[in-house]
Every structure is written in structure tokens, then in C-alpha cells.
Amino acid sequence: MERNFVISNADYLTRPTCIILPCTNIFWAMFYYAGLMIYHGIFKYGWHRTCTNDYQFPFRRPKILNKKAMNKKFKFLNPDINYGVSYQDGQFDDVRLCLDNILTATLDEYIPGMKGANILNYTAFKNFTKNGLGKINGVILQDQITKKEFTVKTRCVVNCTGIHSDQIRKIDDPSVEPRMIASEGTHVILPGEYVNKNHGLILPATEDGRVIFVLPYQDKALVGTTDNIYPEKTNNPKTDPNALVFLCRELQKIYPLRTEDELRSKIISYWTGLFF
């Protein structure tokens, strides 16, 4: 449903991207094809229920590719790859979408009856205020430039602080048990020769069970994975060198003509982000 809402409401920030699952034999190709047809069907059904405009359904149905088609799209490909299953997914500009969400929220009557929001940046949450019954009725904020504190009265506080949610919950009630576990996603940028400019790859069977994606991104190859527990909750996570080794080792299985050392030497940039 998320893709439906993003495409329906911000089509200028999204585009269909073709992604291929490489397969060594027809059994796995048929297996993934069946699953992706179900995925496609659910998406198409949801599109007709949630789309708020007259746009046509933008994604083509999955299809099976033969060895010749795979080799044409990806050079350096492992010769054991005999098939591929392609499907289309949505790719969007996440930074612009975030900014658009913030700015749109400030508009009165953007949705009939909606009152526009007041937005603040460079502002830190410091504490709650409570009434005589101990119910939250406001928050204390601090301007991070002037360091002045001020109070905002409210009937409701929404804790949307991601991996820091437990920290905010404990300010309200120090006895609460933690709920959040930080998970890291590590990404690297490689030269564009490691991906087709119109097609990405998903590697669903790595040595530890995680999924790796290789996607076209600004004429380069974006390679990454997620779902690895990170020991601390910080805004500036450090990239584990072992994560880079893991990504290059798994990518080398698809591109055996390139050594792990060669792939590591080709890394243009890398970073790690945390989510929950």
C-alpha cells in the first residue's frame, strides 16, 4: 500500500524500476515468478482501491528471462546464472519526499478542513509538561541556535523519533521497558558498470540469509543490505568494515570475473544508517 500512496500522491518523485532476481535453474525461476505474480496482483488490487487520481497502473507484470537476455543486461555475470525473473518496483527521491511532506503539512485546507501545521527545525525536545493528574499537556523545546527553551501546549504528543523512541518514553516514565532494537543498513556506491542503467538486481540467498540489492542510482551502482543488529542508538553510526567485506564477497559470487579485492578498491563511497 505504501507504494500506491507515494505514486498516487507524488508521482513526480517516483518512477518504476525494473529489478531482476538471478536464478541458476528453471525451478528457482518458476518459484520466484510465482511469488512475484502474487506480489504484483496484490499491488494491482491495492492500486485500484487506493489510487486517488486517473493514472493508469504503472507497473508491468513479472516475466522470466533466459540466459541470453541476462548476459545482455549484465556484463561480468556469473555463467551459472541461466535465468532471471524481472519485476517492477517503485524508486523515489526520499529526501525530496520528506521535504514535500513537511512543507505540505503547513498548508491550510490542503485537505478540506485541515489546519496547517507549524514546523520547526534546529529544535530539540527537552521534557514533557503535565497537569495535576500527571497527564501530558505540553512539551518543553529548546532552540539549538540560541539555546532558549520554550513551552508548547498540546492535547496530544506523537513520538516519531525512530530508534530514539525509548529515550523519549523514559522521560515520561523511567520505569518503562525498552521496545526498540536498532538495525543497520550499510550501502556502498560502485561504478555504473556493475549494474544495468535500467535494471537492478536482488540477491535473495546470501550466506547469512539477508537480501542484497544492486540498483541503478545516478549513473552508479547502489549496493546494500539491511537487518543487521546495531549495538547502540546513535545519529552517526560507523560502518563496520566487515559489512563492506560481506557486500563485496556476495557481489563477487554474481560477478566472479572480479575479485573481492578489486570490488573493494572500486568503492566510491559508503555509509550506514539505522532504523528499527
Q: What is the pLDDT of residues 217-276, one digit of tens each?
A: 889 999 998 777 887 888 888 898 999 999 999 999 999 988 999 999 999 999 998 887
CA 272 from chain centre, in angstroms, equals 12
Average pLDDT (86-94) is: 85
Nearest-angstrom CA–CA distance, 79 and 68: 11
Residue 111's pLDDT is what? 84
| Mean pLDDT computed over every residue of the chain | 89
DSSP category for residue 44: H
Average pLDDT (98-125) is: 91
Q: Strand pairing partners for 125? A: 141
CA 220 to each of CA 45, 169, 190, 237: distance values in angstroms, whole numbers, following the listed order = 33, 41, 6, 24
Residue 53's pLDDT is what? 58
More confident residue, 2 or 12: 12
Residue 72's pLDDT is what? 92
Nearest-angstrom CA–CA distance, 88 and 40: 9
Residue 10's pLDDT is what? 80
Residue 9 has pLDDT above 90, yes or no: no
Residue 52 has pLDDT above 70, yes or no: no
pTM > 0.95: yes or no? no
Nearest-angstrom CA–CA distance, 99 and 50: 23
Beta strand ranges found along the chain (DSSP E)? 14-23, 63-65, 83-92, 123-130, 136-143, 149-153, 183-191, 199-203, 212-217, 220-229, 269-275
Residue 48's pLDDT is what? 64
Q: Which domains does the chain have, with CATH numbers?
A: 2-96 (no CATH), 110-172 (no CATH), 183-275 (3.30.9.10)
More confident residue, 52 or 95: 95
Residue 141's pLDDT is what? 96
| Res. 49 pLDDT band, cuts 50 70 90 | low
Average pLDDT (65-71) is: 94
Cell reading at 276? 528499527
Residue 199's pLDDT is what? 92
- Beta carbons of 276 and 182 less than 8 angstroms apart: yes
Those residues with Cβ within 8 angstroms of residue 28's Cβ, 6 or more apart along the chain or in another chain: 83
Q: What percent of the chain has pLDDT over 70?
A: 95
- At 173-205, the pLDDT tens digits run 999 999 888 888 899 999 999 999 999 999 988
* Closest residue by Cα to residue 47 from 68, 61, 31: 61
Residue 62's pLDDT is what? 93
Average pLDDT (145-172) is: 93
DSSP category for residue 239: P
Cell reading at 252? 563477487
